[in-house]
Structure 1
């Protein structure tokens, strides 16, 4: 590194706090930044049901840690307007179109590892760091810096960071990529950090109660009750509004009669406020197409692994680039509930992220 200044993304959680400490131990001049994505009053009106990021308590915790660790500087960055435009509006529009969004992917791309780089330049710091569990290393195979799964398979966050712009990767630093969560908790406890036992954030920062249906309703996305069809086009029941469902879902449908097999949401037809349901075996797909692809590694055709949602396992597949911004994934074994709007992330067999795009 050309200088020892580094901007650290401080969420107020245990991971970023310990990461900041480790950077100090490596003789970096650590400049902490903390993003405010929504107004604090949101958290007063809508209490958290589970821990979310960017809350008022997170801001206070980040301030306390910055002071305890004696960081070089600490800045609270208001991104509310930009966040609404790029993340919240996207979230609402995607649901309105009958698809299932993943706003964290775009937040990482545009803010945590986008806008943060602009702030780093203001400090003459060429690099930014975070407490994510992911590896960045130079690959001789690909002749460039790459992102790779963290060694803690239970905390690996490579999926969520797979949409970061490829040109930004050389400027990133991840102190926790080679560590396990238990180690981080132990370090925080030994340092007597106030966040040592703080729960991890689980929900969206702009929906503290995790009630996305309420949130959509408040934003004028409230479809009426609609018809449910089977694959033959027969009316088989009703639903409460298409935005309340995602591909693979079984609950919340009022069927006219009982089916002898389990039925799942197979397709969402937003323009007709309709759902199509099908038996479990029909929800398995052999392939998918993804567009708006972020190619970190350029390739024509490759064997690798693909993950189609945050909690799914990677599946073996053949991945083919079919245009400058789209790819086709052909799975070696059928995969359940490929969901439009979600992100498909593809890896090579060594865990290196190759690309990520939006499933159509």
Structure 2
């Protein structure tokens, strides 16, 4: 989408993508200001990186502490979900509840009409509604992470990096002499930089239910280390020897973990709740493409509404290891039209 130039507030993390986002908007004639959020003590390096990027890019930067909001809206629910045997994605909750909400709040305080970020996605307008659109770079597309953004945010959001491939973004940063030009891409959850989710959650006093491994034939094999250490589809680190590879098929509410041999970890359907929809909403019996994790390829499916806030998704071909707690995000062509949290996974599709 094209917007008339004016004032815009950019979410600046100090990384290469948000830094180049600032410069792209300056080149388009925008008057750019920047905001970095201090989510937790783990973010001090990010704040310092943003301060350096703002200095190099010559834009004013605001640092906003948001620790209490981040704890309440993101960290506490994340830990609770893991302790319940589900696999949450904190970014899809943080974006609407904390990051973009505060970005818009600060913009409103300053009288700034537009906001922007360095996400690899685009914005489109169809029939009076604003949609997230997949990025030019399919390999870098981050539209999945933005599916819960409401119209009030989408209508003022700029995503200029979504028009570029990653190498072009790095080349632009290098040409500008930015410190972030060669910074590695972030891979882990921002508040758990070492990636050890279980230790982090246990350090907060939550261990989750204990339980047993259940073999594919129903035999009880013995205790496991606790549901924090496992997710649906996991193969490594199980400590189970049955003569051939096994996977986590399902984590039961009481803490037992069902195992499956390779090929048996596929599911025909999933149930969603906490739906978020864009535009006219999801059509009953509609045909869509669905992503069941951020790095997955979209696959064809049929969607059936089950009340105002839930839906059944039936895959054309069984999907490997959809995980309760993750998000399933729906597309028509390259437009994101909705999504929800995976509540249950079904080996067989329900009878119509």
Match status 1:278 vs 2:280: no
The alignment yields a C-alpha RMSD, in angstroms, of 1.7
- How many aligned positions are there? 339
Match status 1:238 vs 2:226: no
> Which of 285, 294, 300 is residue 283 of structure 2 equivalent to?
300
> Which of 50, 62, 68 is residue 56 of structure 2 equivalent to?
68
Query: Counterpart of 1:352?
Result: 335
Q: Which has the higher mean CA deviation after the structures are superposed, 222-231 or 126-135?
A: 222-231
Residues in 1 aligned to 2:235 and 2:16: alpha-carbon distance in whole angstroms:
36
Deviation at 1:124, TM superposition (A): 0.8
CA contact (8 A) 1:238 1:254 kept: no
> Which of 96, 108, 117 is residue 83 of structure 2 equivalent to?
96
Deviation at 1:261, TM superposition (A): 4.2
Q: TM-score, normalised by structure 1?
A: 0.89
Residues in 2 aligned to 1:90 and 1:263: alpha-carbon distance in whole angstroms:
30
Secondary structure of residue in 2 paired with 1:246:
coil
Query: Counterpart of 2:196?
Result: 211
Deviation at 1:231, TM superposition (A): 5.0
Residues in 2 aligned to 1:64 and 1:326: alpha-carbon distance in whole angstroms:
45
Deviations 1:122-181 (A, max 9, x none): 111121101111010222xx4422111000111110111112123321110011111111
Match status 1:138 vs 2:150: no
Deviation at 1:78, TM superposition (A): 0.3
Change (3 A) 1:328 1:223: closer
Structure 2 portions without partners, runs of 5+: 344-352
CA contact (8 A) 2:84 2:208 kept: no
Query: Counterpart of 1:34?
Result: 36
Change (3 A) 1:224 1:26: closer
Q: TM-score, normalised by structure 2?
A: 0.91
> Which of 16, 22, 29 is residue 14 of structure 1 equivalent to?
16
Deviation at 1:2, TM superposition (A): 7.2
Residues in 2 aligned to 1:248 and 1:226: alpha-carbon distance in whole angstroms:
18
CA contact (8 A) 2:5 2:28 kept: no
Query: Counterpart of 2:107?
Result: 120
1:197-208 → structure 2 map (5 Å cutoff): 197-208=182-193
Deviations 1:324-345 (A, max 9, x none): 2112211111101111000000
CA contact (8 A) 1:10 1:62 kept: yes
Residues in 1 aligned to 2:142 and 2:101: alpha-carbon distance in whole angstroms:
17
Query: Counterpart of 2:348?
Result: none
CA contact (8 A) 2:83 2:209 kept: no
CA contact (8 A) 1:11 1:62 kept: yes
> Which of 269, 279, 282 is residue 287 of structure 1 equivalent to?
269
Match status 1:266 vs 2:249: yes
> Which of 301, 304, 308 is residue 324 of structure 1 equivalent to?
308
Residues in 2 aligned to 1:165 and 1:195: alpha-carbon distance in whole angstroms:
30
Deviations 1:32-84 (A, max 9, x none): 00010102xx4xxxxxxxxxxxx32322221122122221x310010001100
Query: Counterpart of 1:49?
Result: none
Q: Which has the higher mean CA deviation after the structures are superposed, 279-288 or 170-179?
A: 279-288
CA contact (8 A) 2:69 2:98 kept: no
CA contact (8 A) 2:282 2:338 kept: no
Structure 1 portions without partners, runs of 5+: 43-54
